[in-house]
Structure 1
Amino acid sequence: MERWEAGSVRAKVAVVVSAVAVLGLAAGCGGGSGGAGGGRTAGDAEDKDERQVVRVLSHAQLRHVELGPKEVPGFVVEKASAGTAGHGLPSTGSEACRPLVVALGSQPQPAPEASVVNTFAKASTEQGFQGLLGTIRVSAYEGDGAQSTLRELRSAAQGCAGGFRMKTGEGQPQRFEEVRTLPAPRLGDEAMAYRLVNAAEKAPSLVTVVRTGSTLSMFFATHLSDPGAVEIPEQLMAAQVAKVERLQRAERPPTAPPPHAGPGPGPAEDGEGGEAGDSDGAD
């Protein structure tokens, strides 16, 4: 078993990107409205008091919701570079599947007000890197951007169950032979989850999207050595969503990034996190 070394998450993420071209999550675009995708549904969300003011988090505020490198036991979290999901905008000839395709790139449509992206890998001091890795993208939207993004992804996952063809932003053809809607975690205001199978590598990838107010937490995971072991760990999702919820509820939310996080690029640069140290809770 390979030993864990600092910075190795980025190297392994690069390997996965070149293999399946899906390591970054962005907001999907497309048409149609979907039914329940498991977990808390859109109907559940509508039961909430919509008169409450929805807080749209800024890029500086989102730096406070990033998980620290060792905040979730058993996982190493690192900041992602702007090119983690490749460059350019993925494309497809299937309008119905377009939300799924755009979600595999690094150019959100509709664009969020701000985003931060981190990679994660399952690792331990004793066993080193264990093969499971992925990304977490947290994005804040104006208006109904978060709701419509999740709704359109849900509709696309159901309508494209037989798979779809696409081209990456670099023009590389890809084919996914299956899209399967999965039970979603009961987190946030509503959530959905789905499974993709790459036709060339026969490698499954998991995607889970959780909406908390106007903020989406989007998780992607794959496994380099054992496709059957791919998962998006509940404790990782719960920890991320909890940080978003705490910031959303904060009576006096911070207006500046954590002092130890470094400036980081702004929303105009994909809102990606910089290479500085970790950021803890929004105190």
Structure 2
Amino acid sequence: MKRSALPRAAATVVTSALSLALLTGCGSGDDDAKGADAKESATAAAKALGSAELEKLIIATGDVDGYKVSAADKSQQFASSKDEVKVVDEKCAPIAYVLTGFAPGDSAAYVNRQATEVAAKPSASSTKSLEDMTDEELDDAMKGITDALGQTLTIVSLSSYEGDGAKKTLSSVSDAIAGCAGGFTATAKGDTQKFTKVEKEKASGTGDESLAFAVTGDADGDKVVVHGEVVRHGGTVATYYSISLAAFAGEGDAAEYDIPAEITKGQAAKLS
């Protein structure tokens, strides 16, 4: 995975600064079955939301404490459109789409955002040159850089589907996680991204269905782990793709981070 390609957005940020069961017991009677059938029928008859409706539902700054939410920087994207993303093994395409910020299925509408942890306010010493800093100010400046590298950048997308399209999309992601364990290769704009491993992870449990995975990529000879999650809320699918800026910069343990729970919870709340 070239450092100048897929995670370019991460590089930009770095240089400029992601029981009811107990109550019901074993009683799974006819009423429960009828309720499940009704829910399935409602999902199958789901009408897709339009882009304007999704724009109102996707998270914004203020919805998640400690995060700034902005438009994803298209100039930094691996691909400018979903059609540009080509995957050698087609069954792995849904994962590649999540990792490039696009809808994992054939959606009727789609929007996305970039959520970045809010960095601490710069100190007065940050405006000084290194030569003019005292030892204390230099330590403070280095701490600021370390804190920035500890941030996580997350791309959030919402896509809507007609009928049972959202359920089929979750199924395709599930198949990709299972069938692409050995990795896959994606290309766009002449850049090639090689992923060496796909692993299933514990999902957030939000929405009607949720799937999570970790993908290991090759970044100029270094291993970088990124995390993805796909959640179905009726006929709408939310996707999350997080990368540790420290992992991208080759600092720290890339495995010691995940998709921020506050982001998935915040987005789920807007869709409930």
Structure 1 and Structure 2 fold alike (TM over 0.5): yes
- Contact 2:177 2:200 (8 Å CA) reproduced: yes
- Contact 2:104 2:173 (8 Å CA) reproduced: no
Query: Would you say how many aligned residue pairs link Structure 1 and Structure 2?
Result: 209
> 1:203 aligns to what?
224
> 2:20 aligns to what?
none
Normalising by structure 1, report the TM-score.
0.65
Question: Deviation of residue 214 (structure 1)?
Answer: 0.4
Question: Deviation of residue 224 (structure 1)?
Answer: 1.4
Question: Deviation of residue 54 (structure 1)?
Answer: 2.7
Whichever residue aligns with residue 62 of structure 1, its letter is: L
Query: In the aligned structure 2, how far is the partner of 1:145 from the partner of 1:21?
Result: 29
Secondary structure in 1 aligned to 2:194? strand
Whichever residue aligns with residue 4 of structure 2, its letter is: S
Question: Deviation of residue 122 (structure 1)?
Answer: 1.5
List per-residue Cα deviations over 1:205-238 (Å, max 9, x = no partner). 0000110000001000001114234311111101
Secondary structure in 2 aligned to 1:50? helix
> 2:54 aligns to what?
62
Q: Which has the larger radius of gyration?
A: 2
- Contact 1:193 1:207 (8 Å CA) reproduced: yes
Task: Say yes or no: does 1:215 pair with 2:236.
Answer: yes
- Contact 1:22 1:104 (8 Å CA) reproduced: no
Task: Say yes or no: does 1:86 pair with 2:79.
Answer: yes
Query: Which residue, 180, 204, 220 being the options, matches 2:199?
Result: 180
Whichever residue aligns with residue 210 of structure 1, its letter is: V
- Contact 1:87 1:105 (8 Å CA) reproduced: no
> 2:91 aligns to what?
96
> Would you tell me which structure has more helix in proportion to its own residues?
2
Kindly tell me: are residues 46 and 182 of structure 1, through their superposed partners in 2, closer, same or farther at Cα, counting changes over 3 Å?
Answer: farther
Unaligned runs of 5+ in 2: 11-34, 122-143, 247-251
List per-residue Cα deviations over 1:36-75 (Å, max 9, x = no partner). xxxxxxxxx9666223353422211112112221321111
- Contact 1:205 1:230 (8 Å CA) reproduced: no
- For the aligned residue pairs, the C-alpha RMSD in angstroms reads 2.8
Query: In the aligned structure 2, how far is the partner of 1:73 from the partner of 1:197?
Result: 29
> 1:232 aligns to what?
259
Question: Deviation of residue 22 (structure 1)?
Answer: 8.5
Normalising by structure 2, report the TM-score.
0.68
Query: In the aligned structure 1, how far is the partner of 2:192 from the partner of 2:119?
Result: 36
Query: Which residue, 175, 178, 191 being the options, matches 2:210?
Result: 191
Whichever residue aligns with residue 56 of structure 1, its letter is: A
Whichever residue aligns with residue 202 of structure 1, its letter is: K
Kindly tell me: are residues 110 and 221 of structure 1, through their superposed partners in 2, closer, same or farther at Cα, counting changes over 3 Å?
Answer: closer
Question: Deviation of residue 146 (structure 1)?
Answer: 1.3
Whichever residue aligns with residue 177 of structure 2, its letter is: A
Whichever residue aligns with residue 166 of structure 1, its letter is: A
Query: In the aligned structure 2, how far is the partner of 1:77 from the partner of 1:50?
Result: 34
Question: Deviation of residue 82 (structure 1)?
Answer: 4.3
Query: In the aligned structure 1, how far is the partner of 2:4 from the partner of 2:193?
Result: 11
Secondary structure in 2 aligned to 1:49? helix
Task: Say yes or no: does 1:74 pair with 2:66.
Answer: yes
- Contact 1:20 1:198 (8 Å CA) reproduced: no
> 1:254 aligns to what?
none
Query: Which residue, 153, 162, 165 being the options, matches 1:145?
Result: 165
Task: Say yes or no: does 1:243 pair with 2:270.
Answer: yes
Question: Deviation of residue 125 (structure 1)?
Answer: 3.6
Query: In the aligned structure 2, how far is the partner of 1:58 from the partner of 1:90?
Result: 24
